[in-house]
Amino acid sequence: MRKTGGDRGSLDGTGAAPYRDSSDHALADYPRPSVAVDTAVLTLEPRSDRAPGLSVLQIRRGTSHQHGLWALPGAFLHEGERLRDAVDRSLCEKAGVGVEHPHQLHVFDAPGRDERGWVLSVAHVAVVPFELLATALQQGEDLRLAPASNPGRLPYDHNDIVDRAIDHLRDRYATAPDPDRLLPDTFTLRALRLVHEAVAGHRLQRDTFRRAVETDLEPTGQLSSGTRGRPAELFRRPPQRGSPEKAEH
């Protein structure tokens, strides 16, 4: 006998009836949207004439829909696939890069956001050192970095995704020194300040910044070398408690 009303039976291989809700509908009776993932990959692009700038990775779309337009890398979710795995797949296949710690940002669910049909986008952000992207950028004609503050006109909700990614990054960098490890393991306070200025989008007062971060850093007892001017003291991030090395993640 089929279970009805609020009795939430399920098809589990034991002879139980398929699930039906209180309106006597099965899951398949409801329309289902397609689900996509779109990722804002942020980095600091080195510039020879000035401090590094916060940039976002873009791909040139090669599909028939929005062909030739620059957009964020993304993909449709496959059946049985986790969102994180879809993010990894889209970045690997479309940008030739891999990331370790993408963060979910927001679900964009406006019914008319995609002309192709009912598509939900689960937006993510990944923050990576420039070196992780350098090879892919050199080899791929359909990849580029654009200023995160002015990424151009992007399709769908991609401009909104970039804005949310920047806000997410600024919140993180307001509470810890370089939590996403855009710098190498050891660095000068000046290099650290330039990273935080690029993220914040404005200059930071040098002495105020030093006082704000130095309690969260460990001096290495070494000085910088190979740079112009007077050698500066090198610092590192202390390891997270319970973790021998990798912190902030």
Q: What is the pLDDT of residue 19?
A: 86
Q: What is the pLDDT of residue 153?
A: 93
Same-domain pairing of 216 and 244: yes
Out of 129, 145, 173, a domain closes at 173
Same-domain pairing of 163 and 187: no
Residue 46 lies in a domain: yes
Q: What is the pLDDT of residue 14?
A: 58
Same-domain pairing of 231 and 130: no
In sequence order, what are the residues at sequence separation of 6 or more whose Cβ sits closer than 8 angstroms to the Cβ of residue 118? 31, 33, 34, 111
Residue 209 and residue 229: Cα distance in Å, rounded?
21
Out of 152, 173, 194, a domain closes at 173
pTM attached to this predicted model: 0.83
Same-domain pairing of 145 and 199: no
Q: 83-91: list long-range contacts, CB under 8 Å, 24+ apart.
A: 83/37, 83/122, 83/124, 86/37, 87/37, 87/39, 87/124, 87/126, 90/37, 90/39, 91/39, 91/41, 91/126
Same-domain pairing of 136 and 61: yes
Q: Which residues pair with 124 in a beta bridge?
A: 39, 104
Same-domain pairing of 213 and 92: no
Q: Is 129 exposed, middle or buried (0-12, 13-18, 19+ CB in 10 A)?
A: middle
Residue 118 lies in a domain: yes
Residue 63 and residue 69: Cα distance in Å, rounded?
10
| CATH code of the domain covering residue 54 | 3.90.79.10
Q: What is the pLDDT of residue 112?
A: 84
- Which one-letter DSSP state was computed for residue 17? P
Q: What is the pLDDT of residue 228?
A: 65
Segments in the chain below pLDDT 70? 1-15, 63-65, 226-229, 240-249
Q: What is the pLDDT of residue 1?
A: 42
Q: Find the domain containing 184 and state its range.
A: 175-249
Q: What is the pLDDT of residue 10?
A: 45
Q: Where are the beta strands (DSSP E) in 21-156?
A: 34-47, 50-60, 70-71, 74-76, 103-108, 119-127, 143-147
Residue 91 lies in a domain: yes
Dihedral sign computed on CA atoms, order 131, 134, 136, 142 = positive
